[in-house]
Amino acid sequence: MVEHRPIVTFVSHLVLIFGVAIIAFPIWITFVASTHEAARMVQIPLPLLPGDQFFKNLELTLFKGLEGAGAPPVGFMMVNSLVMALMIAVGKIAISLISAFAIVYFKFPFRMGFFWMIFITLMLPVEVRILPTFEVVANLGMLNTYWGLSIPLIASATATFMFRQVFLTIPDELLEAARIDGAGPMRFFVDILIPLSRTNIAALFVILFIYGWNQYLWPLLVTTDQSMYTVVMGIKQMLEAAEQSPDWHQIMMTSLLAMLPPVFVVVFMQRLFVRGLTETEK
């Protein structure tokens, strides 16, 4: 602090607390809604303080799901989301690591051509090419599979760029030393490059896990079978059912469960998260 101005500091804290309150209010309301029974959630005005039905709702939502919404139990959908998010995060990191390794450490024909092919993916988000991509996945028979859910989202220029950047900062002497010791390319990659980029891998994992978990449009298109639904798309089904019978206590419990894993990751791995965000610039 530059100067001592108690009033300005006090006002700053006040504004910040007010800001936090605005940001947190929707989550508070969600939590409150998930702790009341169905009957209470149709009386106006809705409660602002939590009730005592939290665990009952939790059990109901996790294991039975919302009846009549045409969605499986939420616990089941969360497993699907988890598998998809992990496949996307691990897959992206793995293929980006090896392709960045090839591009930085090898001299081979079409090296720059490959680099530009990867670069192009940066410019084509799923949303702008959904229909043809859907056709490809359908023709490959990958609808309603974990492969169909994750592989089309795995190629990523951002991750390749980040690893390329990391590898470029690694001193040349390390490779020379490794060579003198008789290490081949793969030995060098596994024993030196990967350990050196450990923190970057972890930071990227945090970002990609959130990205994968929160996918919505793509799962919505490639899954028609209830057993493949993810929790994020399950919410939409429930909202549609809410037009007839507003079971808000269960919908809000599902929302709470759907945001829990990514929020948990952000809060408890905050340093890695911030690092991952600023390094990839998304």
Partner 1 sequence: MLKRVHFGPSWLPFALVAPQIIITVVFFIWPASQALYQSLLVEDPFGLKTEFVWFDNFIELFGDEHYLGAFQRTIFFSFSVAFLSMTFALTLAAMADRVIKGATTYRTFLIWPYAVAPVVSGALWVFMFDPTLGIFTYTLGALGYEWNHKLNGGEAMFLVIIASAWKQVAYNFLFFLAAMQSIPKSLIEAAAIDGAGPTRRFFSIILPLISPTTFFLMVINVVFAFFETFGIVHAVTAGGPAKATEILVYKVFNDGFIGLDLGGSAAQSVILMLIVISLTVIQFRYVEKRVEY
**Residues between 99 and 138 with contacts to partner 1, criterion CB under 8 A:** 99, 101-109, 111-112, 114-115, 117-118, 120-125, 127-133, 135-137
Query: Which contacts qualify for 165-172: CB closer than 8 Å, 24 or more apart?
Result: 165/279, 166/100, 166/196, 166/197, 166/200, 167/100, 167/101, 167/104, 167/105, 167/193, 167/197, 168/104, 170/196
Q: Which of residues 49-78 bind partner 1 (CB under 8 A)?
A: none
Q: Which of residues 163-192 bind partner 1 (CB under 8 A)?
A: 167-168, 172, 175-176, 185-186
**Minimum CB–partner distance for residue 153 and partner 1 (Å):** 8
- Could you tell me the sign of the dihedral formed by the alpha carbons of 270, 27, 54, 209, in that order? negative
| 3-class DSSP assignment, residue 136 | helix
**Minimum CB–partner distance for residue 170 and partner 1 (Å):** 9
Encoded amino acid at 230, one letter = T
Q: Which of 35, 57, 160, 197 binds partner 1 (CB under 8 A)?
A: 160
CA 115-117-122 angle, to 5 degrees, is: 95
Nearest-angstrom CA–CA distance, 282 and 277: 6
Provide the 8-state DSSP code for 242.
Answer: T
Q: Which of residues 199-228 bind partner 1 (CB under 8 A)?
A: 210, 213-214, 216-217, 221
Which is closer to partner 1, CB of 112 or CB of 194?
112
Q: Tokens 């303080």 sit at which residue?
A: 49
Q: Does 194 bind partner 1 (CB under 8 A)?
A: no
Q: CB-based burial of residue 30 (10 Å sphere; 0-12 exposed, 13-18 middle, 19+ buried)?
A: middle
**Minimum CB–partner distance for residue 132 and partner 1 (Å):** 4
Q: Which two tokens stand for residue 16?
A: 């910040």
- Could you tell me the sign of the dihedral formed by the alpha carbons of 160, 162, 165, 167, in that order? negative
Site string for partner 1, 12-51 (x = CB under 8 A): xx-xx--xx--xx-xx-xx--x-------xx-xxx-x---
**Minimum CB–partner distance for residue 73 and partner 1 (Å):** 18
Which is closer to partner 1, CB of 55 or CB of 108?
108
Q: Which of residues 247-266 bind partner 1 (CB under 8 A)?
A: 248, 251-252, 255, 258-259, 262-263, 265-266
**Minimum CB–partner distance for residue 45 and partner 1 (Å):** 5
Residue range at the interface with partner 1 (CB under 8 A); choices 52-60, 62-70, 82-90, 98-106? 98-106
Residue range at the interface with partner 1 (CB under 8 A); choices 11-19, 52-60, 69-77, 191-199? 11-19
**Minimum CB–partner distance for residue 26 and partner 1 (Å):** 4
**Minimum CB–partner distance for residue 227 and partner 1 (Å):** 20
Q: Does 270 bind partner 1 (CB under 8 A)?
A: yes
Which is closer to partner 1, CB of 9 or CB of 227?
9
Q: Does a cis peptide bond (omega within 30 degrees of 0) precede residue 45?
A: yes
Question: Following DSSP, what letter does each residue of 68-79 receive, concatenated?
Answer: TTT---HHHHHH
Nearest-angstrom CA–CA distance, 187 and 30: 51
CA-wise closest residue to 84 among 156, 134, 149, 133: 149
